[in-house]
């Protein structure tokens, strides 16, 4: 049972769709599937612009975003308050960009005022992009994308490039309404699919920057994907069977509806956090900036890796561990994608039993706390 922030559980209907024999990726039949999935991706991203599917992980989509709209030497602001924000800074430096980081400690949100100060001071409009992670998977922190984006819009020149790998499909991001320039995500998160597809969409402003961008690119040249998408095709061989699954997954998401999807993720986030508090387990991210996709816990008095081990061996439930300097100090429980109330209660019940086995009695019932929140709807 996957209670990690990716890969996430995959519905049986999606798995069965993927089990079909492949078809030709240049056939008319497959072109119809591309047309349908492209339209439904626009619905999910809340955009009129093409959403481009790439055979890549979420990292591939953000690298594509960086190299398609920028040139060597361009100055960029990168928000870093976790592993993935730090990764975008590393990629930017690898391509010769002039990187300035806006930082916060792991477990704390980025301060939008820091972006405002840096952007307001840039009177020469030298900053070409602001790159941030919306939901920082390594910490469980949800950064204030809306506020940071407002400051970018006030600047006027800079693009905003957003890693929404764990927030797209679990949190409301009205891409066109907010004027997000570039945003990327991955199939193994809220999309209820196995890993293998990345998704990215860009604004008209970003495509204007693409015409002037000079960083090298070939397979990740989004212009090729955009042209092919207009013909219900792909520039390179796509993962055909993942498209079969994506078609079904997006149909399931449309049947549930965006508001219900976001409400479900909020309910599961709040139920999980209520349970951790009842169990006496310290939370890493503050309530005000908690991701709807992932809850990070730094247990006090009990080893995080022992918790993960017992959960896996006794209950066949996978929890994620900490990353980098938080390795061995944290466990992370994912609750995004194909997750229901039963899954939350099952995982919390197993965690409560695990704590008892490890001699760490809880001050209150985590199951009761989670159940109370879930009953509220």
Domain boundary among 255, 283, 301: 255
pLDDT of res. 292 = 98
Q: Summarize the confidence of residues 261-285 as an average pLDDT.
A: 98
Residues 348 and 17 sit within 8 Å (Cβ to Cβ):
no
Closest among 160, 141, 161, 194 to 17, alpha carbons compared? 194
Residue 200 is assigned to a structural domain of this protein: yes
pLDDT at residue 133 is higher than 90? yes
**Which CATH number fits the domain that encloses residue 329?**
3.90.1150.10
Residue 219 is assigned to a structural domain of this protein: yes
pLDDT of res. 361 = 86
Alpha carbon of 189 to those of 2, 35, 83, 139, 261: distances in Å? 11, 22, 17, 16, 13
Residue 237 is assigned to a structural domain of this protein: yes
pLDDT at residue 73 is higher than 90? yes
pLDDT at residue 337 is higher than 90? yes
Pair (45, 192) in one structural domain? yes
Residue 4 is assigned to a structural domain of this protein: no
Please give the Cα distance from 322 to 281 (Å, whole number). Answer: 15
pTM passes above 0.95: yes
Pair (159, 295) in one structural domain? no
**Which CATH number fits the domain that encloses residue 128?**
3.40.640.10
Q: What is the overall mean pLDDT for the chain?
A: 98
The DSSP element (H or E) to which 203 belongs, if any, is none
Domain boundary among 205, 231, 255: 255
**Residue 281: helix, strand or coil by DSSP?**
coil
Residue 2 is assigned to a structural domain of this protein: no
Pair (135, 262) in one structural domain? no
Residue 262 is assigned to a structural domain of this protein: yes
Residue 171 carries which DSSP code?
A: B
How does pLDDT run across 23-55, given as a tens digit for each residue? 999 999 999 999 999 999 999 999 999 999 999
Pair (203, 58) in one structural domain? yes
pLDDT of res. 374 = 97
End-to-end CA distance of the chain: 24
Pair (244, 268) in one structural domain? no
pLDDT of res. 80 = 98
In which band, very low, low, confident or very high, does the pLDDT at 129 lie, cut at 50, 70 and 90?
A: very high
Number of domains comprising the chain? 2
Pair (71, 194) in one structural domain? yes
Domain boundary among 222, 255, 288: 255
Pair (194, 311) in one structural domain? no
Q: Summarize the confidence of residues 173-190 as an average pLDDT.
A: 98
Pair (244, 232) in one structural domain? yes
Pair (46, 85) in one structural domain? yes
Structure-derived torsion over alpha carbons of residues 220, 223, 226, 232, reported in degrees to the nearest 10: -80
In which band, very low, low, confident or very high, does the pLDDT at 255 lie, cut at 50, 70 and 90?
A: very high
Pair (276, 152) in one structural domain? no
Pair (222, 281) in one structural domain? no
Pair (271, 220) in one structural domain? no
Q: Supply the range of the domain harboring residue 53.
A: 12-255
pLDDT at residue 377 is higher than 90? no
Q: What is the DSSP string of 163-174?
A: E-TTTBTTB---
In residues, how long is the chain?
Answer: 377
């Amino acid at each position: 049972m996957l209670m990690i922030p990716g890969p996430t559980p995959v519905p049986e209907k999606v798995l069965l769709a993927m089990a079909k024999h492949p078809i030709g990726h240049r056939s008319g039949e497959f072109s119809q599937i591309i047309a349908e999935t492209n339209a439904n991706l626009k619905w999910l991203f809340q955009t009129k612009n093409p959403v481009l599917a790439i055979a890549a992980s979420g990292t591939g989509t953000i690298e594509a975003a960086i190299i398609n709209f920028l040139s060597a030497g361009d100055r960029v602001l990168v928000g870093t308050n976790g592993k993935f924000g730090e990764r975008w800074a590393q990629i930017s430096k690898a391509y010769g960009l002039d990187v300035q980081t806006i930082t916060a400690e792991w477990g704390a949100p980025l301060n939008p005022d820091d972006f405002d100060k840096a952007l307001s001071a840039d009177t020469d409009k030298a900053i070409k992009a602001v790159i941030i992670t919306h939901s920082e998977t390594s910490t469980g922190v949800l950064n204030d994308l809306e506020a940071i984006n407002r400051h970018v819009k006030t600047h006027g020149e800079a693009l905003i490039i957003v890693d929404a790998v764990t927030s797209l499909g679990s949190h409301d991001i009205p891409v066109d309404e907010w004027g997000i320039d570039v945003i990327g995500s991955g199939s193994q998160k809220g999309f209820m699919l196995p890993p293998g597809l990345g998704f990215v969409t860009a604004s008209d402003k970003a495509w204007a920057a693409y015409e002037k961008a000079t960083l090298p690119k070939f397979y990740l040249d989004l212009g090729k994907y955009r042209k092919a998408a207009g013909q219900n095709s792909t520039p390179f061989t796509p993962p055909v069977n993942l498209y079969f699954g994506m078609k079904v997954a997006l149909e399931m998401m449309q049947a549930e509806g965006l508001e219900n999807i976001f409400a479900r993720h909020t309910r599961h986030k709040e139920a999980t956090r209520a349970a951790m508090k009842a169990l006496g387990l310290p939370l890493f991210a503050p309530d005000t900036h908690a991701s709807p996709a992932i809850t990070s816990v730094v247990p006090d008095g009990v080893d995080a890796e022992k918790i993960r081990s017992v959960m896996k061996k006794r209950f066949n439930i996978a929890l994620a561990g900490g990353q980098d300097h938080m390795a061995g100090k944290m466990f992370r429980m994912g609750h995004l994608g194909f997750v229901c109330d039963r899954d939350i209660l099952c995982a919390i019940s197993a965690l409560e039993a695990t704590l008892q086995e490890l001699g760490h009695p809880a001050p209150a019932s985590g199951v009761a706390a989670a159940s109370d929140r879930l009953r509220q709807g």
